Structure formats: C-alpha cells, structure tokens
Structure 1
Amino acid sequence: MGAALTLCTVGQLACCCGSAACSLCCSACPSCKNSTSSRLMYAFILILSTIVACIMLAPGLQDVLQKVPFCRNSTGLPDSVQVDCSQAVGYLAVYRIYFILTLFFVLFAVLMLGVKTSKDPRAALQNGFWGIKILLIIAGIIGAFFIPQETFGKTWMYFGMIGGFFYILIQLILIVDFAHSWAESWVGKFEETESKGWYFALLGVTFLNYALTITGISLLFVYFTHPDSCDLNKFFISFNLILCFIVSIVSILPAVQEKLPRSGLLQSSVVSLYVTFLTWSTVSNQPDKSCNPGLLAIVGGGEKNPHVGFDVESIIGLIIWLLCVMYSSFRSASNSSKLTMTEHVLAKDNGAVRNDQDGLVSSEGGESNDGGESGGHKVWDNEEESVAYSWTFFHVMFALATLYVMMTLTNWYKPNSSLQTLNANSASMWIKAISSWLCLGLYAWTLVAPIVLKDREF
C-alpha cells in the first residue's frame, strides 16, 4: 500500500510539468482514484512544509548561518550587503511558513464552496496545477519574511492556539474512528472465519494496550508526583485513570453490546492508551519544575533543555499528527463513521468506475478487463457524478492541521514569554488535559448514542 501511494504521488508530481510528462509517467503508476491522489498531494505539501519548519528550528542552525558570507556577524563582506539571517530561523520563521500555508488552504476552502462534481470548472484547480501551487506557496513564504514582527508573532499565536485546538477535536474523532474500524474489521474476520488466530490477536492486542496503559500511568505517578505536593498532576493522572476504567466497563455493558455487537475492549484499550499519552503530555507541560523533571532527567540525561528544540512528547505528537493526516488522506468512510461522524472527513465510496477503452476498473482498485494494457491514465476521475468528499471541509481541516503542527513545533509557545517556559507552560498543559477529557467523552458518546438516539440508524 505504501509503495502504491508513493508511486501515485510521484505520478501527480510529474503532472506539474504538463500533459506530456503526465502521459509518460502515469503509465508506470498503479491505478489511482483522482480523489485519493489529490488528497495525497495536499498531504505531501503539508508534510514537506513541516520538514522545512523543523529545519528552521534545528539547534545550531543559527551558528551555521553566522558562517554564511552574506549573513550579519559573519566575515568577508561589508555590512551594506549583509542581511539579518536570524529572521530565517526560530519560532517566528515557523510562524511565517505556516501563515502562508494556512492562507493557502483557507483560500482553496473558499474557492471550492458548493462544488458537487468534478465537472465543475473549479475541479481543475482542486486536482491539478501542482507546480503553480507549489511556486505560489514558495513565493508567499518568501514574502512572509518581510512582515514586521512587532505584533505578528503574538497575534498569529492566538490564531494558532484556537485553530490548533479545533484540529485536536478532528484528530480525536479520527483516532476514535480508527479504534472502531480496527475492532470492526478484526471482529468481523473472526466471525466470518471462526479462526482462533483472529481471536488470540484480539486478546493479545487488547492485553498489550492495557498493559502499556497501566505501566504508563504507574510511571506518571512515580516521576511526576510527590507525596506532599504536585496535587494538580495527581488530579490529572487519577481522574483520567478513573475515566478510562469507566469507558472500558461501559463498552461491555449488555445494553451497549445489544446495539453495537462488535464494540468491546479493543476500542477501549486503544482510547485508554492514547489518553495515557495525552496525560503524559499534560504533566510534561506542568510549569512547576519540581513536578516536571523532564524525560532527560528521568532517564539520566540531564535537565530539560530550556531552549527551542524537540522533546520526545512533541516528536510523538507529530508522529500521531502525521498518521492522522495520512489516515484522512486515503481512508474511506466505513460503518463506524456513522458513530464518529467522520463521513464529513473521510472520502465516501461513491461507486464510480473507471472507463477504459477496452475494460473497466472499479472504484475498489481492481484490474481492468484488458489486463492493464489499455491506454487510459492511471490517475482516473471517480467524481464525475458526485464528489467523494467535501472539498471545502477537507481544506478547512488541513488549515487547522497546519495551525496544530505549528503550535506543536513551537510547544504552544507564547512569543513574549521567557525562553525558560518554552517547553512547559500552562496553556499547553490545559489544552492537552481538555483534549484527553474530550477524547474520552467522544468515545463514550459513540457507545451510548445508539441507546439514547433510538430512532436513528447507526
């Protein structure tokens, strides 16, 4: 699957140069729906921008730039031909990159309002012109570095916090949907085959997730609390542990099992493990240093670095963000989407088929009747009758994802505060704590909704 997606994305990149390159390269690519390839290209743009932003935050880059001849504080050129390269690194540089990228996705969200099929003239903007789009983003980023920094950092920080929080809600929905889809798939295969292998796989993964959850909670109590202090950390850890226990019990209640026969402890274990990670993120952002030793101090590597950098909690958060972005890019809505309301986020299978000269390829990605020898493009349009996903909502989601990763890279940092609070601040702590409660609340609602809303079919 990964190779197929990579080839499909490379094929789209080749189309930047025009129809000639497209016809030459797409013949080597696997069959790919237009709705999938376009989402993957936008994800590629977002991930590439994130890589550039990480380079801007790389420790030691400031010292390297001082050795570049045209940068200030370097030697070899007079001051009149030197520029201040410090503006190209640090959190403000990250803010500028994601400012342009957010505007890009917001612009496309507005442009794609009301698009129903790919026959709309605006479909060409959504599914093509990749080279022009990338050039526009690059030009915008270069121009963003000329924005005065007096009020830009603080103002954009507030936009980032609000947008990042809303993306957290979408990410929670995707994670809960993933948990339901995973259990739905494995339980379904067990019921169809009655294989003991699937039964033991269900038990094994569930046990492993709960074992990791209990271990994680125990370590949080050991390292982030003290007998006579750290009451707030004790509250976060204990309260989330109790909530995880409650939702696990609810998931196996007879009333829930009657409405959702494939619901069980596998979903609860996945959610509990993710909530444990959010709890760790919460206490890791505790401003009180006596209750927040930092991972390096725990493993014996010294005190937490107070300067701009990447801690383990941020890296794991970025990995989860990346997985959610890719999940939303190529995942199709399933039965569980009715519970989690992700039918607005994920693409629907609209039953479209690809018409080749000598055969058909279904939307499930099957082979053509001519054995794959037809001359049609491998990236084919499956949205002639109706779009597979809301183009506007997709761009809104990516705009919020852009703001979220911006805040994650800068540790939800308040620009006017001291560097000593960069990796630990109350704003980030409470955002992560509220996120954990929303995750548990959302999962609990997916369990009780079929019981409460009796007139609705799930």
Structure 2
Amino acid sequence: MGAVLGVFSLASWVPCLCGGASCLLCSCCPNSKNSTVTRLIYAFILFLGTIVCCIMFHEGMETQLKKIPGFCDEGLKTKVADTIMDKDCDVLVRYKAVYRINFALAVFFFAFFLLMLKVKTSKDPRAAIHNGFWFFKIAAIVGIMVGSFYIPGGHFTTAWFFIGMVGAAFFILIQLVLLVDFAHSWNESWVNRMEEGNPRCWYAALLSVTSMFYILSIISVVLLYTYYTKPDGCTENKFFISFNLILCIVVSIMSIHPKIQDGRPRRAVDNEREGVQYNYSIFHLMLCSASLYIMMTLTNWYSPDANFQTMTSKWPAVWVKISSSWVCLLLYVWTLVAPLVLTGRDFS
C-alpha cells in the first residue's frame, strides 16, 4: 500500500506543474484551460495506475499484501500434480491486487463518464470539474484504491472478472474500429494529394508504404512459422497462422476488385463543431474500458479464482489476439462492401 500512496501522492503534484500557478491545498490545483493538457493528465493517471499494477508483480509483494486484514483470509486452493496445496495467496495474490487497483480506476472514470453526460460547452459548470480540482481527484482515486483492498473476495472477484472481460472486449473493438478508420483516412489523404499535387511523388510514396507493410507481414508470418511451429507438432499454431494468412490474402484481393474501387466513397471534410473540442463523457468511458483492458492483459485474461494449472496456460490470451485479428478483418471487409450493399446510404 505504500507504493500506492507514494506514487499517487507524487502524481497529485504533477498536474500542478501543468498549470500556470502554484498548487495550494486550499485552492486545489489550477484549472487546465488547455484541453490537450487535461487529456494528458488523465492519461498520466492511467499510466501511474499501470505502474502500480506492475509493482504488485514484484517479488515479495505477497508478504506485504497478506498483512491487509481480510485480503487473504479465505486462502487459495491450487491444484498442482493432483495434490491440493494451500498456497496462502502466494500464487494468485498479485492478480487480486491488480484487480483492485484497476477497480478503483474504472470506478473513477465511469463516475466521470456519468457526470459528464451531455456536456456541450466549456461554460457548463461540470466542465470546470473535468478540467480542474486535481487534488481532490487524486485523493478520490487513492481513497477508492485503498478501500478496494478491503473488499472480500468471492462474489466480487467473479463479478469483476466478467465485467473486466466485457470492458476489455469493448476497448479492443473500439481500437479495431479506429485502426480501420485510420487506414482508410491515411489512404484517402495520400490519394487526394496524388490527384491534386505531384502524382508521381505521392504514387511512389503510397506504393512504397504499401509494399513495406506487405513485406513486414510476410516476414512476420515466416517468423511465426519458425519460432511457434515444429515439423512434427504444433498443429493448432500451424492452422491459425495459415488461416490468418489466407484471410489476409483474400481481403487484399477484395480491396482491389474493380467493383469495390468504384463503390468506394470519398470523405468530405466536416467543419469543427462548436462547443467542447471532444466529448468528455466518451473520453472517460474510453479510459474506463482501457483500465479494464490493462487489468485483463496483466492477468492474462484469468480470474484470480482459477486453479494453478489453468493459470499457467496462455490460450485465453491467444484466443483474444486471434479473435481480434478476425474481427479487424471483418470490420475492414464490411467497410469495403457496405457501399455496395447499402446503396441508399451516404458514406462520405
């Protein structure tokens, strides 16, 4: 707990350095007028939470965590070589600690998601809360984090595991949508410049970058076959690598099909909307889901109530990555065929 208090006590002073005045306990930290600075501060809070989670994986932390009343009272039963052994939280206590740290972050960001609903302008009183009062925010996070370590396990652990899976899956889906959108935006930007400016230069740049990514993909596939397969085994690995390679080839062929190219819309440049520069509520929702994704990633997508043999398996994390690649390809294919299927809709 000293690590939690120490790191976040230091964090309470960092936002003050971003403002234009000194930080006083009575007046809290100065408001961050710059929206970029505000977002960086929230991201830094999430980053500090991740650092604290990593500290929990340090050797010897189990001894300190077992001193917390109620944290390990129920004990943990792990099955190793068909022998039931009481590990006294030595095996899974780190995962339980990570769950509670990210519980505090997720609760904080979700509360701000609800608080910032329908904030349309920076003149809204709630915008001042979003951009200021950093001392109280840090104090609230530390308070929730410390208090979460005294929450009994059992039903809490099970429920939070499923909430973490849903939140992390939502975060992955959003990132995949943004990735596909970024790829389309990048391509359209360079194609427009090629049509409006020096066509040879931009065509060469577009062809070079495309070729580079295909070469990197081929090298990655070769490395996957080299390090994760064997001639006489690893059937699952061979299947997934080959299957994903085939899917990528099929999608690549689809993307250059004449009908797909003819039906591809061009995006119009929208004017900046008045009011806030970004949606405060959605921003906090993304940070909430990001904290859940970090929690599930650090714990290898396992519940702290799982047995030791299951904990040593890496297949849940593998399935998450495989399914993410399939969803990403599916999203990209939909962006290609949607203009042909939904002909009455404007995709520009």
Please give the residue correspondences for 1:219-238 in structure 2 after superposition, counting only pairs within 5 Å: 219-238=223-242
Distance 1:186 1:139, change over 3 A: same
The corresponding residue for 1:154 is: 158
Answer whether contact 1:177 1:337 (CA < 8 A) is retained. Answer: no
Say if 2:323 is the partner of 1:437: no
Residue identity in the other structure for 1:255? K
The corresponding residue for 2:338 is: 449
Three-state SS of the structure 2 residue aligned to 1:454 is coil
Give deviations 1:179-223, integer Å, cap 9, x for gaps. 222223333333333164443332222222111211222222333
The corresponding residue for 1:377 is: none
The corresponding residue for 2:272 is: 349
State the 1:137 CA deviation. Answer: 0.2
State the 1:224 CA deviation. Answer: 2.7
Give deviations 1:289-323, integer Å, cap 9, x for gaps. xxxxxxxxxxxxxxxxxxxxxxxxxxxxxxxxxxx
Of the three residues 183, 193, 197, the one matched with 2:197 is: 193
The corresponding residue for 1:114 is: 118
Unaligned runs of at least 5 residues, structure 2: 1-13, 69-87
Cα distance in 1, alignment partners of residues 121 and 299 from structure 2: 39
The corresponding residue for 1:375 is: none
Residue identity in the other structure for 1:202? L
State the 1:241 CA deviation. Answer: 1.0
Distance 1:240 1:430, change over 3 A: same
Cα distance in 1, alignment partners of residues 119 and 175 from structure 2: 25
State the 1:108 CA deviation. Answer: 1.2
Say if 2:184 is the partner of 1:180: yes
State the 1:118 CA deviation. Answer: 2.4
Distance 1:85 1:436, change over 3 A: closer
Aligned CA-pair RMSD: 3.6
- Count of residue correspondences: 314
Give deviations 1:73-96, integer Å, cap 9, x for gaps. xxxxxxxxxxx9979971211111
Tell me which moved more, 448-457 or 126-135: 448-457
Say if 2:43 is the partner of 1:43: yes
State the 1:438 CA deviation. Answer: 0.6
The corresponding residue for 1:90 is: 94
State the 1:9 CA deviation. Answer: 9.3
State the 1:396 CA deviation. Answer: 1.8
Please give the residue correspondences for 1:409-420 in structure 2 after superposition, counting only pairs within 5 Å: 409-420=298-309
The corresponding residue for 1:11 is: 18
Cα distance in 1, alignment partners of residues 89 and 22 from structure 2: 35
The corresponding residue for 1:250 is: 254
Residue identity in the other structure for 1:49? G
Give deviations 1:355-382, integer Å, cap 9, x for gaps. xxxxxxxxxxxxxxxxxxxxxxxxxxxx
Say if 2:56 is the partner of 1:52: no
State the 1:422 CA deviation. Answer: 3.5
Cα distance in 2, alignment partners of residues 8 and 255 from structure 1: 53
The corresponding residue for 2:264 is: 260
Cα distance in 1, alignment partners of residues 91 and 134 from structure 2: 29
TM (norm. structure 1) is 0.60
Of the three residues 92, 105, 108, the one matched with 2:109 is: 105
TM (norm. structure 2) is 0.77
Residue identity in the other structure for 2:285? V
Say if 2:127 is the partner of 1:123: yes
Cα distance in 1, alignment partners of residues 214 and 172 from structure 2: 23
Unaligned runs of at least 5 residues, structure 1: 1-6, 27-31, 73-83, 263-334, 339-347, 351-384
Three-state SS of the structure 2 residue aligned to 1:122 is helix
Identity across matched positions, percent: 50
